[in-house]
Copies of this chain bind each other. A is one copy, B any other.
Amino acid sequence: MPSYNAPVKDMQFVLHNLLKVSSSDIPGYADLEAEFTAAVLEEAGKLTSEVLAPLNAVGDVEGCKLENGVVRTPTGFKAAFDQVREGGWTGLDMPEQYGGQGMPYVMGTAIGEMFSAANQAFTMYQGLTHGAASAILAHGSDEQKDKFLPKMVSCDWTGTMNLTEPHCGTDLGMMRTKAVPQDDGTYKVTGQKIFISAGDHDMADNIIHLVLAKIPGGPEGIKGVSLFIVPKILVDDDGSLGARNGVSVGKIEEKMGIHGNSTCVMNYDEATGYLLGEAHKGMRAMFTMMNEARIGVGMQGMAQADVAFQNALEYAKDRLQGRDVTGVKNPDGPADPLIVHPDIRRSLMDQKSFVEGARAFMLWGASLIDRAHRNKDDSADGLISLMTPVIKGFLTDEGYDMTVKAQQVYGGHGYIEEWGMSQFTRDARIAMIYEGANGVQALDLVGRKLATDAGKHAMAFLELVKTFIKENEGNEALKADFLDPLKAASKDLQTAMMYFMQNGMKNPNNALSGSYDFMHLFGHVCLGLMWAQMAKAAHEALQVGTEDVTFYETKLATGRYYMARRLPATALHLARINTGADTVMALEAANF
């Protein structure tokens, strides 16, 4: 069976060598001394590797079952959920006012990665709750916050997001679920929602559904959508649980993966709902959840890549097969370990350089969110908003590919469920789809985010790269291996933006035909930037003097691999973008 080792050391490197969190001016960051974060990460590492990871296959094999209208989670899930709750992990970055620990989001993100890597299906129960709580925190009345947040922060009650209906997912303007106002200020919500992750289960006393619905008589389409709080069990004014609400599970979907999470069809039948935020402004409120969720999903992609990589690496070291062509490495054995073979190395280095680059990208992104919220910094907010579709789309596509590569290292055993590598790919696959399929992320990036505030944030990103290159130009240790490739890649990014500006005006399809390639081009430049910055940090550590020379030299070698073998993909993406819409849109739909 696969195992999971929490990457505490690598996270410490990113937090302290790269982001230098404890000397940051972001409120709350001063507390993040290296010893403190190490202690928290070690503790989370223990829980995730010892408790959650062993349940990963259990969840996959058993799945969730709907019995007499109630969803049963796999063996061991409830006990583990209790343990997570008791450890206070569910409210780590939630306000102390509601029972959380008030830590920065960057810490929540690091720990979230561990949880997702160890057991994605399990972690979604609390992940969805976090998202729903964030939406209530941002848009709820004080009364709503007081009533729901303490229980949600502790995960005594969990949460869900209800957007999709059978006939509409991306295009929510077509939704049919209705919310009819009642005299007492509440609403009666009626309709069917599908693909509701953690829609029902047996691990919490109550479930707080956030449901998008239309108030009759409101504006047409997406502008007439409002967001409602619809508890599974109604909550009395004193906070105690009252009557069952008109919410029921239609069925559990049979999915390709994440079997441990109950993906439900939810039926709302005149269920009592409470308007969250303003009427007809539901999408705005939902986007609070969705942006957080998109970043969380990007993390799932890289987290699955990490755990799959860890196991592929162990297998490559253990499995004896063939001989090193440059000379026998294991003369006493019947064959050399797989890891001697260059093509296995290529695969492992692809994985390793992605995972570590993506981890830095995630945590940098999380620090931007902290800066946006805690320093009220609009440029940080603009930048992370621009990069959110990149984090979601690029990291989940690449993350999935890496799980496929990890599975491939196992040869035939990778295809046998017993070995566990198939589950990583099947679980990782959903991340490319939910919270907006990756094509929709690309559309959001090119069709909306690039042009936000007259392109200010995109320019700021390019400026950031340029400044880094300029400031370090004299550093010979960085120049050829890191700065030059980064310069070339960011030039490709800039050229692509120019192409969109010049040709997208004439015909928006010229830009949209290249949107997916642009998302990947952007992602590679982000990881290239991370690797250049990490290389700088590694050199600094080596110069200062360290007992762990190997760690930093390995970091540099891994970065050189990314810059030499992965980053050049930007040129291919640019080449495709530059061909515009002509060949993409050439056929009539009927002639395909």
Contact = CB atoms under 8 A, between A and B. Distances in A.
B416 A255 contact: yes
A515 interface: yes
A443 B341 CA distance: 10
A586 B571 contact: no
Contact of A169 (B257, B321, B571, B583): B321
A422 interface: yes
Contact of A512 (B256, B342, B418, B442): B342
B576 A557 contact: no
Contacts of A425: 256, 429
B169 A253 contact: no
Interface string A427-441: 001101110011100
B589 A342 contact: no
B346 A513 contact: yes
A169 B411 contact: yes
B586 A325 contact: no
Given A174-B335, A509-B326, A581-B342, A169 B586 contact: no
Contacts of A320: 167, 171, 174
A341 to B, nearest CB: 7
Interface string A229-256: 0000000000000000000000001111
A460 interface: no
A582 B556 CA distance: 13
A565 interface: yes
Contacts of A515: 342-343
Given A433-B412, A565-B579, A343 B442 contact: yes
Interface stretch (A43-51, A347-355, A464-472): A347-355
A344 interface: yes
A508 interface: yes
Interface in A376-412: 400, 404, 407-408, 411-412
Contacts of A72: none
Contacts of A287: none
Interface centre among A426, A512, A583 (most CB of B within 10 A): A583
A442 B344 CA distance: 11
The range of chain A's interface size is 35 or more
Given A321-B170, A561-B583, A408 B433 contact: yes
A422 B313 CA distance: 27
Interface in A500-535: 507-509, 512-513, 515-516
A295 B68 CA distance: 51
B317 A589 contact: yes
Contact of A557 (B334, B426, B516, B586): B586
A414 interface: yes
B345 A585 contact: yes
A554 interface: yes
A575 B586 contact: no
Contact of A576 (B341, B553, B568): B568
A273 to B, nearest CB: 23
Interface in A549-573: 550, 553-554, 557-558, 560-561, 564-565, 568-569, 571-572
A585 B334 contact: no
B554 A335 contact: no
A442 B554 CA distance: 27
A313 B588 CA distance: 13
Contacts of A579: 564-565
B512 A591 contact: no
Contacts of A581: 342
Interface of A: 164, 167-171, 174, 194-195, 253-257, 313, 317, 320-322, 325-326, 334-335, 337, 339-349, 352, 400, 404, 407-408, 411-412, 414-418, 422, 425-426, 429-430, 432-434, 437-439, 442-443, 447, 507-509, 512-513, 515-516, 550, 553-554, 557-558, 560-561, 564-565, 568-569, 571-572, 575-576, 579, 581-587, 589, 591-592
Given A343-B439, A349-B584, A554-B592, 9 more contacts: A256-B416, A256-B426, A325-B508, A339-B589, A339-B592, A343-B516, A345-B584, A400-B404, A407-B429
